[in-house]
Amino acid sequence: MSYELTRPMPAFDLDSFVGRSRAVDLAAIDWAEIPRHPVPTEALRALRYMQDIESHTIIYLRALLATRAIDDPDVATFLACWLYEETFHGLAWARFLEAAGAPIGTRARPRGQEPWAKRIEAAATAMVSKAWPDFCAVHMTWGAINELTTLTGYRRLAAVCDHPVLADLLERIILDESRHFFFYYRQAEIRMQRPRVARVARILVDRFWAPVGSGVQPDGELLFLATYLFGGPEGRASARKVDDTIRRLPGFDTVQLLESWMDRHLGNDGSGSPVQQGGSNGHGNH
Ligand SMILES: [Fe+2]
Ligand SMILES: [Fe+2]
């Protein structure tokens, strides 16, 4: 990287990340203990959403392989490890759900057969990448937002659902998500030191961002998850923290993300009663 930085920031040590990249340790989980503690229906429903989105990473990667992301050696190396770790998150949740007596079953639509809207989105992403040499800036920003949303969602799940094995698994997975977030965030921060790059990235996020899983899981499931994890005052505060962290990126100081999405879709009194439906642009990336 040769961009001039306007303020010091800790570097992301890619070599150390690659050296430490490994699958979440499934052998260390006490699977037999899971059925001994009831898991609320809401938590099972949330985990089904999360399991599907984690397992969808390979499809996100398919879209990314058609972009400049693979021309940047650091990004390409990161993505290889990222896919590996995310895949194991999906496997871990599938196994947890099975042990809890709620196996995921067969997916209604084969994962590789995406709806038209998602295919058009992937083609549009490839076109933006072709036309814009700094495409990775928006990719890194997008990744930072979605990793931070994911890890915050997992922290909220740990707070609202008291289950010893779930807590153990969440703690392990949150560690991975934190490392993913750190990579994306630092990359975004460096790339957007150039104001013109930050301006374009901001326009794309303002126009196309929607919470992770949008367009992959049904809208009703997304609304349920948002209400369950971010609906009350503590959930709201967590969503605001995600937004505030992203607002520290260059050019993103006024960006409207999770909280504003929740105001539009769930109401702003924290009750989870929708004030307005629709408006989701169906873009998700993890
Ligand atoms: Fe994950
Ligand atoms: Fe992640």
Reading the chain (286 residues) residue by residue, the pLDDT tens digits are 444 455 556 778 888 888 889 999 999 999 999 999 999 999 999 999 999 999 999 988 988 988 998 899 999 999 999 999 999 999 999 999 999 999 998 888 887 888 888 888 888 888 888 889 999 999 999 999 999 999 999 999 999 999 999 999 999 999 999 999 999 999 999 999 999 999 999 999 999 999 988 888 889 999 999 999 999 999 999 999 999 999 999 999 999 999 999 999 987 654 545 444 333 333 344 4
Q: Say what the pLDDT of residue 173 is.
A: 98
Q: Which ligand number lies closest to the CA of residue 154?
A: 1
> Which ligand neighbours the alpha carbon of 143 most closely?
2
- So what's the pLDDT on residue 250? 97
pLDDT of residue 238: 97
Cα 177 from chain centre: 9
| Structure token pair of residue 10 | 């800790």
**Which residues in 144-176 are b (16+ Cβ under 10 Å) and which e?**
bbbbbbbbbbbbbbbebbebebbeebbebbbeb
Rounded Cα distance, 29 and 51, in Å: 17
> Which pair of structure tokens corresponds to residue 60?
């996100």
Is residue 142 within 8 A of residue 284, CB to CB? The reply is no
Assess contact for 259 and 246: CB atoms under 8 A.
Answer: no
Global pTM exceeds 0.85: yes
Q: How far apart are CA 64 and CA 83, in angstroms?
A: 12
Query: Who surrounds ion ligand 2 at CB < 5 A?
Result: 147, 177, 180
Compute φ and ψ for 187, nearest 5 degrees. -60, -45
CA dist., res. 185 & res. 147, Å (int): 9
Supply the Cα-derived Rg of the chain in whole angstroms: 18
Ligand 1 mean position, distance from CA 86 (Å): 4
pLDDT score of 286? 44
> Dmax over Cα atoms in the chain, in whole Å?
56
Between the CA of 153 and the centroid of ligand 1 the distance, in Å, is 11
Tell me the CA–centroid distance for residue 173 and ligand 1, in Å: 7
